[in-house]
Amino acid sequence: MRFFARSLLTSLVLALPAVFVHAEPNAHEPSAGRQQQLVRMVRQDCGSCHGMKLTGGLGPALTPEAIGHWPEENLTAVIYQGRPGTPMPGWRGMLTENEAAWIASRLRAGFPHEE
């Protein structure tokens, strides 16, 4: 019984850091205010090339149908670094890599509209 209590205590102590890690905000979720800015930026700045509805223009469509099969990492890299030799610019001066990853994951899921 005593052994059981001790191992229970040990596993609780071991589990605690995991609880705290999970309580932290998701690393891929910018703050609500920043998310609004990012949505506006994608709709306006990215939309100037990819179409106001992101269905394509000078740049290809960024809809889930068009890019949903891409791994998020590839999309993040294109957004963050751009695609050399094409008009697709890198956005590293405007975004953190984490924010680029957030945009990539939202594009794959269907990009939100401005509020």
Per CB under 6 A, 84 contacts ligand HEC? no
Residue from 86, 96, 109, 110 touching ligand HEC (CB under 6 A): that is 86
Residue 40 sits at φ, ψ, to 5 deg, of -60, -45
**Residue 27 beta carbon to ligand HEC: minimum distance, rounded to whole angstroms:** 19
Encoded one letter per residue, x for contact with ligand HEC by CB under 6 A and - for no contact, window 19-48 reads -----------------------x--xx-x
Hey, what long-range contacts does 42-47 have (CB within 8 A, 24 or more apart)? 42/103, 42/107, 42/111, 43/111, 43/113, 43/114
Instruction: Give dist(CA 77, CA 90) in Å, integer.
Output: 9
Near ligand HEC by CB under 6 A, which window of 1-9, 12-20, 22-30, 60-68?
A: 60-68
Instruction: Give dist(CA 53, CA 62) in Å, integer.
Output: 9
**Residue 36 beta carbon to ligand HEC: minimum distance, rounded to whole angstroms:** 15
Instruction: Give dist(CA 69, CA 92) in Å, integer.
Output: 24
Per CB under 6 A, 64 contacts ligand HEC? no
Residue from 6, 28, 34, 83 touching ligand HEC (CB under 6 A): that is 83
Residue from 58, 73, 109, 110 touching ligand HEC (CB under 6 A): that is 58
Residue 112 sits at φ, ψ, to 5 deg, of -65, 155
